[in-house]
Amino acid sequence: ETGVTQTPRHLVMGMTNKKSLKCEQHLGHNAMYWYKQSAKKPLELMFVYSLEERVENNSVPSRFSPECPNSSHLFLHLHTLQPEDSALYLCASSQVSGLAYNNEQFFGPGTRLTVL
Amino acid sequence: DAKTTQPTSMDCAEGRAANLPCNHSTISGNEYVYWYRQIHSQGPQYIIHGLKNNETNEMASLIITEDRKSSTLILPHATLRDTAVYYCIVRVPLYSGGGADGLTFGKGTHLIIQP
């Protein structure tokens, strides 16, 4: 247990569905992240929230919509996805301070998403 | 652009030391070396990090060469549960207030511990 939980652990959805992934961290951290891991590809950073404000969006398609209502919760809203969006979606959190050189990230177990 | 290079895969016998190399020849003076690992179907796990001095914790040791162009992660007594993909990452610390940075993962080294 890393202190970061993700639900659901597995999700199968059609291309016309709307679903949401949820992440919760119990570590008192102030930054949260979404990563995507496709088969046989490195992990890709999708979104970064620091102090509940989005600070980075790596040109992710608009069919992925993040939401960070508070420092402990992070959502990824999904709509009209494509089969190539099938992947493992990982959430992480970290503590960011002025001297952030050792702010290692703690990852959740991921949500395995399959788009039919 | 890859900032680190690692072997694709390595084998190690159970109980022996596993030495995982990483080249980061273009590392800049303010970049740290971080190691994470990812056990199959789990999220990545932080292992250790360092700037220029050798580091040791309960999981592993990190040896960084004097010129900082390469490093080695050492698992002193590998067990079957150490089978995972190991990622070497270099990153610049952020000093702007409230800043956060994501991790840039490469393909890592798939370490297989043999019984």
What is the C-alpha to C-alpha distance for residues A36 and A87, in angstroms, rounded to an integer?
Answer: 7
Q: Which residues contact residue B78 at a Cβ distance below 8 angstroms, ignoring those fewer than 6 apart?
A: B12, B13, B14, B15, B16, B17, B18, B111, B113
* Chain B residues close to A45, C-beta within 8 Å: 102-104
Q: Say how many CB pairs under 8 Å bridge A and B.
A: 78
Q: What is the pLDDT of residue A98?
A: 53
* Chain A residues close to B100, C-beta within 8 Å: 31, 33, 48-50, 55-56, 94, 96, 100, 103
What is the C-alpha to C-alpha distance for residues A46 and A50, in angstroms, rounded to an integer?
Answer: 14
Is the confidence at residue A101, as pLDDT, over 70?
Answer: no
Q: What is the pLDDT of residue B94?
A: 53
Digit-coded pLDDT (tens) for A40-62: 788 999 999 987 888 777 789 99
What is the C-alpha to C-alpha distance for residues A4 and A93, in angstroms, rounded to an integer?
Answer: 7
Pairwise pLDDT comparison (A7 vs A102), residue with the higher score: A7
Most A CBs within 10 Å, among B9, B40, B47, B94, to test the A interface: B94
Digit-coded pLDDT (tens) for A18-39: 999 999 999 998 889 999 999 8
